[in-house]
């Protein structure tokens, strides 16, 4: 039987807190065929689209985004947690279930009119990606789409991003948080 991307993702119970089923994509990354499949499938809906840069959200979005940027022969832009980037940055606060956090990107990472693909491993509430979208838009970039390996639909992230007018592509879904 042919494996799907979902088959490569392991579930770890009670991490990082009791009652959480953590969807671990490092097992996907560790398998050459699985990783290649994920990168190819993340790119598939954007075939023929003009993409100028790939934006990866900290931290596993760096792994996927770097591979996708390489595949496209395009530049890669990291969006990081506050205080991790040197030089001049712009910041965007966002809400977590237990408080607030801040994401940052270099203030010269994107040029007005550049078309970007935002990539991360997992879509939960959508807060991190929304912050990334806001940062890209503040620099004048146009978002081609947001691509994720895993969606946790019960947490509503996809609906949030679609309400923002984003095209959302996911490879697989898992029920539960």
Instruction: Please tell me whether residue 113 adopts helix, strand or coil conformation.
Output: coil
More confident residue, 176 or 20: 20
CA 118 to the chain's CA centroid: 6
To the query of whether residue 10 is one of the catalytic residues in this protein, the response is no
Structural domain includes residue 169: yes
Q: Alpha-carbon torsion 156, 84, 141, 69, what sign?
A: negative
* Annotated catalytic residue within 18, 97, 100, 175: 97
Q: Quote the pTM value.
A: 0.96
Distance CA 95, CA 88 (A): 23
The beta strand positions in 20-114, using DSSP E, are 21-24, 53-57, 75-81, 89-96, 99-106
Question: In this structure, are residues 160 and 126 in contact, taking their beta carbons and an 8 Å threshold?
Answer: yes
What is the C-alpha separation between 122 and 107, in angstroms, rounded?
25
Q: Is residue 25 part of a domain?
A: no
Residue 17 lies in a domain: no
Burial (CB count within 10 angstroms: exposed 0-12, middle 13-18, buried 19+), residue 45: middle
Let me know if residue 124 belongs to a domain.
yes
Count of Cβ atoms closer than 10 Å to residue 146 Cβ: 28
In a domain, 135, yes or no: yes
Domain contains 104: yes
Q: Of 49, 50, 58, 60, which one is the catalytic site residue?
A: 60
Residue 13 lies in a domain: no
In this structure, the number of other CB atoms found within 10 A of the CB of residue 50 comes to 9
> Is 175 among the catalytic positions?
no
Residue 48 forms part of a structural domain: yes
Q: How far apart are CA 21 and CA 176, in angstroms?
A: 7
How do residues 63-82 score in pLDDT, each as one tens digit? Answer: 999 999 999 999 999 999 99
The residues that bridge with 108 in the sheet, in sequence order, are: none
Burial class (CB in 10 A: 0-12, 13-18, 19+), 119: buried
Q: Structurally, how many domains does the chain consist of?
A: 1
Domain containing 49 — which CATH number? 3.40.50.2020
| Interval 72-116: pLDDT, tens | 999 999 999 999 999 999 999 998 767 899 999 999 999 999 999
Domain range spanning residue 159? Answer: 39-173
Give yes or no for residue 177 having a pLDDT over 70.
no
């Amino acid at each position: 039987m042919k494996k799907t991307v979902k088959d490569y993702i392991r579930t770890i119970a009670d991490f990082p807190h009791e009652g959480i089923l953590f969807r671990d994509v490092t097992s996907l990354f560790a398998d050459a065929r699985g990783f290649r499949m994920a990168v190819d499938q993340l790119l598939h809906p954007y075939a023929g689209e003009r993409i100028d840069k790939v934006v990866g959200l900290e931290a596993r979005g760096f792994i996927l985004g770097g591979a996708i940027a390489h595949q496209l022969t395009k530049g890669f832009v990291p969006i990081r947690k506050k205080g991790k980037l040197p030089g001049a940055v712009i910041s965007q606060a966002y809400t977590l279930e237990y408080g607030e956090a801040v994401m940052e990107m270099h203030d010269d990472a994107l040029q007005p009119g550049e078309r970007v693909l935002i990539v991360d491993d997992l879509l939960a509430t959508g807060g991190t990606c929304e912050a990334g979208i806001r940062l890209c838009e503040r620099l004048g970039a146009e978002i081609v789409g947001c691509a994720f390996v895993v969606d946790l639909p019960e947490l509503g992230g996809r609906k949030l991003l679609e309400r923002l007018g984003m095209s959302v592509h996911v490879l697989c879904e898992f029920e539960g948080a």
